[in-house]
Amino acid sequence: MRVPVIIYGDRDLISAMDDKVLNQAINVATLPGIVTASYAMPDAHWGYGFPIGGVAAFDSDQGGVVSAGGVGFDISCGVRTLHTGLTVTDLKLKKLILADALFEEIPVGVGSTGRIRLDDAQMDEMLTGGAKWAVEQGWGSPDDLERIEEHGMMRDALPDEVSARAKKRQRNEMGTLGSGNHYLEIQEVSEIYDQHAAEIFGLHTGDIVVTIHCGSRGLGHQIGTEFLKDMAQAAHQHGIDLPDRELACAPIRSPAGKSYLGAMRAAINCALANREIITHLTRQVFAKVLPEARLELLYDVSHNTCKLEQHEINGETRRLYVHRKGATRAFGPGHPELPDAFQDVGQPVLIGGSMGTASHVLAGNSGNDALSFESACHGAGRSMSRRRATKTWRGRHVVDELAARGIVVRSPSMRGIAEEAPGAYKDVDAVVDVADRAGLARKVARVTPVVCVKG
């Protein structure tokens, strides 16, 4: 190990954590150029190479690496939350109509396709322009851009480094939600913990918000797959001894490292464009069903990325490549990357729960640079395998049980619902409590689902 491993959790979370989280965090700590520590967030669980919930930063001046396994297959998978200007009362009579209309209009689930088809030139423009490109095409609002990390466009993306196969896999997947743990939820703000930050974020008890969780779709998955193989070879060529082949990596300054960074940044743009297009589709549905609604973006965060950022290490400012695999960036107050509106309170950190439980809005804290390179958890994290979940619950029963609690679920797959049953996840409240107590980010608001459209 070149650096220590630091895992955030309380007694219950740590004792429930798979031993493999620790093993994987230790493996990450052996990689060249790693700085300060190999971190695991409170929602960490067994991943591939890196644990899910892993954070690690590398210095290119010290032979640091970039790892495809440290970003994962669903590059720039993330969450965005939109205000609606509506309250629970406004929604009451239209809840079912809205659920059906969203399920009808937003392509969701295995085999679904979007209505947008991109030719080769348009594909490259999308991969360069991200959400900014989507807005320029009329799919989204210019006001959204400052409320997205990187202002909606990841710089230094290299579409030429994205293979023809990855582009083909994306050809008809723009504006699709995907499946598994991806969702679109209508949620109610049920509790406020930090009145000042909530006011600045525009959140009040009883407000209705929309949250979208999805990523870079087939393009990101294909890039992840291809570079995993290429980087395993690159690591070998550069004499990097990998404790696990899944940690596939290459020196940041090597041709393989530069190629991956260019392709991964293109995939980040794909994810940002995708969430922007889904937002556009969602706005169209609201315009028909609840025309008084105004869907304004609170913020958009990505939780599977490697980004070049400035961090303070022992009083010295260094430029580091920070991998967050199932971890959310959590810039504190005053960070130059944040829009003016958030300068006083820090970045909104959006934490998704499972469909029957809560999600949370946190705010980035001052001083969390020294704790986790300004990172926090990303979700509840699973506590049970899919296989065990399908043996424990039946999809129909889960839907009925949630309906009895006023939560409307729409999904093409009952088996998918069983696999994503709320009980298959950790207690998201416990996860965010630890993030709050450890100082990674502070709790601002808790939101609970009203409608869930699930892939």
> Which residues form the interface with another protein (CB under 8 A)?
18, 45-49, 52, 72-74, 109-113, 165, 168-169, 171, 178-180, 218, 221-222, 224-225, 228-229, 232, 244-246, 248, 381-388, 390, 412-416, 418-419, 455
Complex with another protein: residue 12 or 337, whichever CB lies closer:
12
Minimum distance, C-beta of residue 80 to another protein, in the bound complex (Å): 20
Q: What share of the chain is helix, strand, coil (3-state, %, to 5)?
A: 40, 25, 30
Minimum distance, C-beta of residue 378 to another protein, in the bound complex (Å): 12
Let me know if 45 is a catalytic residue. no
User: How far is Cα 108 from Cα 112, in angstroms, rounded to an integer?
Assistant: 6
Minimum distance, C-beta of residue 220 to another protein, in the bound complex (Å): 8
Are 170 and 305 in contact, with CB atoms under 8 Å apart? Answer: no
Two tokens, residue 96: 């079912």
Minimum distance, C-beta of residue 233 to another protein, in the bound complex (Å): 9
Minimum distance, C-beta of residue 12 to another protein, in the bound complex (Å): 16
Minimum distance, C-beta of residue 317 to another protein, in the bound complex (Å): 36
Going by C-alpha positions, the residue among 247, 220, 194 that lies closest to residue 78 is: 220
Complex with another protein: residue 88 or 384, whichever CB lies closer:
384
Q: Which amino acid appears at position 323 of this protein?
A: H
> What letter does residue 420 receive in the DSSP assignment?
T
**Which of the residues 182, 221, 280, 378 is marked catalytic?**
378
DSSP 351-412: EB--TTS-EEEEEEPTTTHHHHSSEE--B--BSS-HHHHHHH--HHHHHHHHHHTT-EEE-S
CB under 8 A, 24+ apart: contacts of 115-124: 115/175, 116/174, 116/175, 116/277, 117/171, 117/172, 118/170, 118/171, 118/174, 120/167, 123/159, 123/167, 123/170, 123/171, 124/159, 124/160
The owner of tokens 């009040």 is: 204
> Sign of torsion, CA 319 263 234 38?
positive
Minimum distance, C-beta of residue 100 to another protein, in the bound complex (Å): 16
Two tokens, residue 61: 């001046």
Q: How far is CA 121 from CA 39, 53, 100, 126, in A?
A: 40, 36, 35, 9
Complex with another protein: residue 203 or 250, whichever CB lies closer:
250
Q: How far is CA 102 from CA 98, 284, 329, 351, in A?
A: 6, 9, 29, 22
Complex with another protein: residue 203 or 240, whichever CB lies closer:
240
Two tokens, residue 450: 């009203």
* Catalytically active residues, by annotation: 378
